[in-house]
Amino acid sequence: MSSENTTLATGTLCLRRVGIDTYHENVAYLHRDCAIYRAEGFQALSKVEVRANGRRILATLNVVDDERIVGCDELGVSEDAFAQLQVPDGHLATVSQAEPPESIPALFRKINGERLGHEDFQAIVRDIADLRYSKIELTAFVVACNRSELDREEVYFLTEAMVASGRRLDWHEPLVVDKHCIGGIPGNRTSMLVVPIVAAYGLVFPKTSSRAITSPAGTADTMEVLSNVELPFDQLTEIVRAHRGCLAWGGTADLSPADDVLISVERPLSIDSPGQMVASILSKKMAAGATHLVLDIPIGPTAKVRSMPEAQRLRRLFEYVAQRMHLSLDVVITDGRQPIGRGVGPMLEARDVMQVLENDPAAPDDLRQKSLRLAGRLIECSPDVRGGDGFHIARDILDSGRALARMQAIIKAQGEHGFKHQHPPLGALRFEVPAESDGTVIGIDNLQVAQIARLAGAPKVKSAGVDLMRKLGDIVRRGEPLYRVHAAYPSDLEFARQACQRNCGYRIGSTEQMPRVFVEF
């Protein structure tokens, strides 16, 4: 019997790992001349069901003509799909047409601008978490929710459904705290200071963070300079119980997995609607077991939120959903006119954090002060602390070295990487960007500074980034350096240099021109 007839008779193919990262989408590959492909009438981009060794996944089908990718008796799968099947290369597998997601009628109603109910969102999110939606269907859902903005009850339904889509942690503690910033501010590594301060006080603070997608560094990227962040779930819980806190990547905890899938299409589209933002943040915090959350909303000309009325609208939406979810929420509106700290990029941001923890005179004061105020707000969640006393308690913990000791204990427990912040091995290739005129720094473009740091290689190249030498209000002379760019590769350095020539991200003028900001600290 020929191999083609054998394939048809048994309905099986040899599994082949195709080394393509398809980012939160399972993809299967069949050769156009495969007997099963012809017999089943598959079409490119249709959903298929793959089974191997008792495991089952859904995948989007791609059809290939090159036997170097997959042969006629093979079934190729992408990296994510292969990892989920947990079988070796060459293992026998079957492929068949997949049933369409049950929630498609609800999706079509949302596309038509209709309001959806509790059961509709439960069904949609369940199918998203099970990877039943193609990227096209996911995009349709994200765009539909953005175009006909979700009302506040719909946001609550979406949040609740996203929590239910994965694991929900229970720390068996009456008070579990968390802190989150809505993002958009380079260098804003306050979490890496707030966690050890609050944990040293004694509150449970299981901080699971994401990696950067469009920014020069996420908390997980920067913490990875110091220690391992990809922790098995059992080890993560053990560290939290022993040290009252952790700083880990959240990808291994299966917390609100539908959110990770939605982010995979939201970020490339630059869609970050208020409803989806609220559902994303609060679902992660609820799933992580938080009872009390401090939320940082920075406002500024180049921040995500650019005016106080916009910040207040977002605040009210967060507060409504948090109240329905029985989560105690404290929203603080902060200064987002410029980056926080000096470093932008994992290695540089880790340096800033360690300088603050060690009470180094060279530590950036804005990072220290903001972290103390956020930590103070969390400490005030404790019934033993009077309102207004949290800042002083946090400052005492930092000044005494207890926060540093707790951070060192967490780093050791997670697996130390041996970072020496005094002389970090920054990218060996560098250049400085000078001021083009005399005057005062009256504007720093967060988006442009972040873009320059990314072009220099951050966050993938941890030693790359931007080291700021001037901040808002500083007086500069023509030719004096505003910041230094570090890169590890000549091509990255050149990309960053060209971006700086187009727009360095700084504006020089007179003090009266500096934008004012109203914050709540």
Residues that are catalytic: 272
* DSSP states of 48-82: EEEEETTEEEEEEEEEE--TTT--TTEEEE-HHHH
CA distance 472 to 139: 39
User: What is the amino acid identity at position 109?
Assistant: R
CA distances from 337 to 179, 180, 188, 433, 442 (A): 21, 18, 12, 20, 10
Task: Work out the widest C-alpha separation in the chain, in whole angstroms.
Answer: 86
Report the sign of the C-alpha dihedral through residues 414, 175, 212, 456, in that order.
Answer: negative
Other beta carbons within 10 Å of 149: 12
CA distance 135 to 141: 10
Cβ contact 339:188 at 8 Å: yes
User: What is the amino acid identity at position 410?
Assistant: I
CA distance 504 to 51: 53
Structure tokens at 271: 């869609």
CA distance 446 to 83: 37
Please give the helix or strand (H or E) that residue 103 lies within, else none.
Answer: none
User: What is the amino acid identity at position 177?
Assistant: V
Cβ contact 230:249 at 8 Å: yes
**Residues with Cβ < 8 Å from 374, sequence gap 6 or more?**
179, 190, 194, 294, 296, 332
- How would you classify residue 143: left for phi > 0, otherwise alpha for psi between -120 and 50, otherwise beta? alpha
CA distance 352 to 466: 12
Q: What angle do CA 177, 257, 171 make, to 5 degrees?
A: 30
Please give the helix or strand (H or E) that residue 479 lies within, else none.
Answer: none
Give the per-residue SS3 of 387-426.
CCCHHHHHHHHHHCCHHHHHHHHHHHHHCECCCCCCCCCC
